């Protein structure tokens, strides 16, 4: 039991959830009578009892090119006759499609906030904040979202360090390191890494089949990712580091998933193979497991997420603010949710089951009719169909949403936490540093 509690805090999903959640990704249009009420599943009387006062968003950037480019491990371990998707520009940059998809999401949030009457206060210079990591993919994501949310306003997108470098607030680095921390962190990492239910070798084999590793320049010296033991290490003022087969496989899983989002032809995206959503979810699992191992062990999460947790709490407690948009990476979302002790969740219509591309953790702050302040937390994301088809998002075709529950916190009958309880959980995670 203790082992599974640790896994839950680390944000690990039961495989049953991973395997079943992508069987149907269709979103049913809301009836005309409902489309201007609550698009989230809430009681009919919700809007009568609660007023939305503020929204704080932690976003992952949208579609980027793979982190590695020509001449990398991708070409060395892929069949020589296969051609990877030809990306525009250098590795790791937000793509034109990613820009358009983020605009779609910003337009949806505009409709959402207009319905709640909290876009009218733009004259207040402190009401809106857009702050992104300085990496190109984060800055451009925030720019696209801001322009769609507030068209014609040319809202400022903060960048606090040199362009295309890592802002310390969004950099998931170890900033406090001791022998005691390393011992505890390694124990937690090994629990996640060695979970027998994940069956990494089977998922490695799926990727190896897709890329036809036996036809690659690296074969036969490298016949499988499983040849290389995986290990994790920690260094002060650096991200947790991994070496071995899981890291190698992650590069391929990441590139394949991004190729699937960008390439209209599904078979071409899989190098001529016919893959199901179940297969794509298993490929994506490799990439997300890599992130979980590195960033979501409890001791690691409160360390690497520390500056971002402080920023989120500060935004929630800023009485002049009505909307905050913080744009970073999947590692930011994963570590923040793990630090807050989020319960495991399953995502409908997604092949990335932890932090889909462009996903947003949305903290809502409400005034209750009873005089209390409340909070709710959702993960909002475009479905795999909406991503591939570049669908316009609206109340008639909304993005997907999953309620985030925090372990040990009790919600009221309408599903809301007391704001003070959420603030206390943030404070707890900050103090755990």
Active site residues: 61, 330
**Pairing relation of β-strands 373-381 and 417-418?**
antiparallel
Using N-to-C axis directions, what is the helix angle for 306-316 and 330-339, rounded to 10°?
A: 80
The secondary element (H helix, E strand) that includes residue 365 is strand 360-368
Q: Nearest 5°: phi and psi at 406?
A: -105, 125
- Show the tokens assigned to 203: 């998922």
| Strand-pair partners of 231 | 243
Q: Is 406 helix (H, G, I), strand (E, B) or coil?
A: strand
Which residues does 426 contact at the CB level (< 8 Å), separation at least 6? 309, 312, 313, 316, 340
% helix / strand / coil in the chain, to the nearest 5? 40, 15, 45
Q: Nearest 5°: phi and psi at 324?
A: -130, 135
Instruction: Note whether 250 and 295 are within 8 A (CB).
Output: no
Tell me how crowded residue 95 is: count the other CB atoms within 10 A of its CB: 20
Instruction: Note whether 185 and 234 are within 8 A (CB).
Output: yes
Q: Nearest 5°: phi and psi at 266?
A: -60, -40
**Pairing relation of β-strands 373-381 and 360-368?**
antiparallel
The secondary element (H helix, E strand) that includes residue 417 is strand 417-418
The DSSP-derived string for 225-255 is: GGGS--EEE--TTB--EEESHHHHHHHHHHH
Nearest residue to 207 via CA among 259, 145, 148, 132: 259
- Show the tokens assigned to 395: 């109340």
Nearest residue to 327 via CA among 99, 157, 109: 157
| Strand-pair partners of 55 | 323, 364
Q: Nearest 5°: phi and psi at 261?
A: -70, -35
- Show the tokens assigned to 183: 């011992």
The DSSP-derived string for 311-337 is: HHHHHHT-TT-SEEEEEE-HHHHHHHH
């Amino acid at each position: 039991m203790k082992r599974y509690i640790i896994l839950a805090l680390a944000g690990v999903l039961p495989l049953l959830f991973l395997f079943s959640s992508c069987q149907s990704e269709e979103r049913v249009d809301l009836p005309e009578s409902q489309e201007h009420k609550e698009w989230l599943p809430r009681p009919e009387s919700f809007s009568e009892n609660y007023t939305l006062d503020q929204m704080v968003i932690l976003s992952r950037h949208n579609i980027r090119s793979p982190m590695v480019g020509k001449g990398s491990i991708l070409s060395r371990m892929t069949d020589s006759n296969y051609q990877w998707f030809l990306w525009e520009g250098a590795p790791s940059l937000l793509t034109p499609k990613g820009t358009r998809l983020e605009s779609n999401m910003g337009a949806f949030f505009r409709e959402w906030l207009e319905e709640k009457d909290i876009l009218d206060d733009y004259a207040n210079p402190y009401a809106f904040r857009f702050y992104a990591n300085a990496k190109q993919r984060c800055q451009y994501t925030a720019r696209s979202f801001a322009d769609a949310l507030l068209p014609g306003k040319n809202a400022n997108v903060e960048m606090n360090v040199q362009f295309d470098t890592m802002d310390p607030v969004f950099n998931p680095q170890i900033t406090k390191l001791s022998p005691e921390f390393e011992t505890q962190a390694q124990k937690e990492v090994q629990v996640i890494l060695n979970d027998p239910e994940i069956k990494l070798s089977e998922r490695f084999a799926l990727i190896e089949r897709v890329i036809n590793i036996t036809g690659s320049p690296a074969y036969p010296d490298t016949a499988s990712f499983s040849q290389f033991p995986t290990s994790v290490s920690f260094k002060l003022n650096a991200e947790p580091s991994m070496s071995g087969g899981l890291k190698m496989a992650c590069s391929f899983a990441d590139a394949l998933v991004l190729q699937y989002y960008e390439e209209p032809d599904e078979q071409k995206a899989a190098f001529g193979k016919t893959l199901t959503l179940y297969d794509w979810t298993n490929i994506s699992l490799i990439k997300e497991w890599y992130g979980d191992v590195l960033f979501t062990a409890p001791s690691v999460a409160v360390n690497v997420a520390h500056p971002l947790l402080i920023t989120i709490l500060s935004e929630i407690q800023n009485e002049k603010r009505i909307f905050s948009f913080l744009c970073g990476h999947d590692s930011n979302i994963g570590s923040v949710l793990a630090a807050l002790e989020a319960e495991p969740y399953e995502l409908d219509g997604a092949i990335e089951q932890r932090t889909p591309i462009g996903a947003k953790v949305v903290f809502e702050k409400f005034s209750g009719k009873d005089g209390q302040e409340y909070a709710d937390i959702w993960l909002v994301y475009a479905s795999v169909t909406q991503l591939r088809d570049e669908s316009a998002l609206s109340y008639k075709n909304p993005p997907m949403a999953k309620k985030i529950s925090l372990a040990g916190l009790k919600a009221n009958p309408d599903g809301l936490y007391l704001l003070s309880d959420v603030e206390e959980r943030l404070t707890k995670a900050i103090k755990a540093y």
